[in-house]
């Protein structure tokens, strides 16, 4: 006899579905609608098909912004991932020192994005900022307001300071989930510190590291407020990333059609690269597990 199903549970999911539909699906459909029309006025719209997509894909400024964005996002991952893992390994695992370290480490995450940009704007100034003044005293000609390299490196360092704690906290959670029996077995076998990290800690952290990589990649790929407050996208276009380029299209120039088309392309780029990163990390983890099994 088949057990009858109770479908009343779907009524609890319905409010969530409606909320998601209102906050995500409806705006997305609006963007799709704008991307295929030339909005001359609120009352006059002309259907243009895929013309805006073709124009956006030919835009040389978009290509430059995309290249800057890709370089920045992958530099963020290359710096923050090993640094976060190193901080997690160095943190005390028990007692009040562990709690105090977690609180101190998480403090940058509590600061709003616009405040972070303001902090580093003041910190990097050569006249009143501690960091900028110190570099100038040491003989380093540092000026993020006029030097594109200095501006780009300052934005990268600002993002590292702001978001590396997130990677460290996730890695710390992964380390704390490893049973003590693994460490005891490694100690009995005489495993080195590197071997413990390579064959015990890193594989056990793989799940949280996948989350950390995806979160940091998606967030860094959509960065806007911090560089906008710090440099305004300059000097020149050196720190004009994709989100700021999109804002200039939609708000500054009020080109809603091209901006909507670019928004969809932007969305698809993030989805595609996140999918590639996820599958690459899963494949690397499986290969590491296979080699670890052969090593044993």
| Domain residue limits, the chain | 60-295
Tens digit of pLDDT at every position of the chain (296 positions): 565 666 676 777 788 777 877 777 777 888 888 888 877 766 777 777 888 888 888 888 888 888 999 999 999 999 999 999 999 999 888 888 888 888 898 899 998 888 999 999 998 888 888 888 888 888 888 888 888 899 999 999 999 999 999 999 999 988 888 888 888 888 888 888 888 888 888 888 888 888 898 889 988 988 888 888 888 888 888 888 888 888 887 777 777 888 888 888 888 888 888 888 888 877 766 665 555 555 55
Task: Provide the 10 A C-beta neighbour count for residue 192.
Answer: 9
Q: Which residues contact 23 (CB under 8 A, 6 or more apart)?
A: none
Q: Calculate Rg over the CA atoms of the chain.
A: 24
163 membership: H or E segment, kind and range: helix 148-176
* CATH topology for the 60-295 domain: MetI-like fold (1.10.3720)
**From CA 293, how far away is CA 281, in angstroms rounded?**
18
Nearest residue to 37 (alpha-carbon basis) of 260, 278, 257: 257
């Amino acid at each position: 006899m088949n057990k009858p199903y109770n479908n009343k549970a779907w009524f609890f999911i319905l409010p969530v579905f409606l909320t998601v539909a209102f906050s995500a699906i409806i705006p997305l459909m609006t963007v799709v609608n704008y991307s295929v029309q030339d909005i001359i006025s609120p009352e006059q719209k002309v259907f243009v098909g895929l013309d805006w997509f073709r124009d956006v894909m030919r835009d040389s400024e978009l290509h430059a912004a995309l290249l800057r964005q890709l370089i920045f996002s992958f530099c963020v991952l290359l710096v923050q991932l090993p640094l976060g893992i190193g901080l997690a390994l160095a943190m005390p695992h028990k007692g009040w020192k562990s709690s105090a370290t977690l609180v101190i480490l998480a403090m940058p995450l509590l600061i709003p994005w616009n405040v972070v940009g303001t902090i580093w704007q003041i910190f990097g100034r050569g006249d009143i900022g501690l960091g900028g003044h110190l570099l100038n005293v040491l003989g380093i000609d540092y000026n993020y307001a006029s030097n594109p390299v200095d501006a780009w490196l300052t934005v990268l360092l600002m993002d590292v300071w702001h978001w590396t704690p997130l990677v460290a906290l996730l890695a710390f959670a992964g380390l704390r989930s490893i049973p003590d029996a693994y460490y005891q077995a490694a100690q009995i076998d005489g495993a080195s510190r590197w071997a413990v990290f390579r064959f015990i800690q890193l594989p056990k952290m793989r799940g949280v590291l996948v989350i950390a990589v995806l979160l940091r990649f998606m967030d860094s790929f959509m960065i806007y407020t911090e560089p906008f407050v710090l440099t305004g996208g300059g000097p020149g276009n050196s720190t004009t990333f994709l989100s700021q380029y999109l804002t200039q299209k939609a708000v500054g120039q009020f080109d809603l059609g091209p901006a909507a088309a670019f928004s969809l392309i932007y969305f698809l780029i993030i989805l595609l690269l996140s999918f590639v990163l996820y599958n690459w990390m899963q494949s690397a983890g499986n290969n590491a597990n296979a080699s670890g099994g052969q090593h044993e």
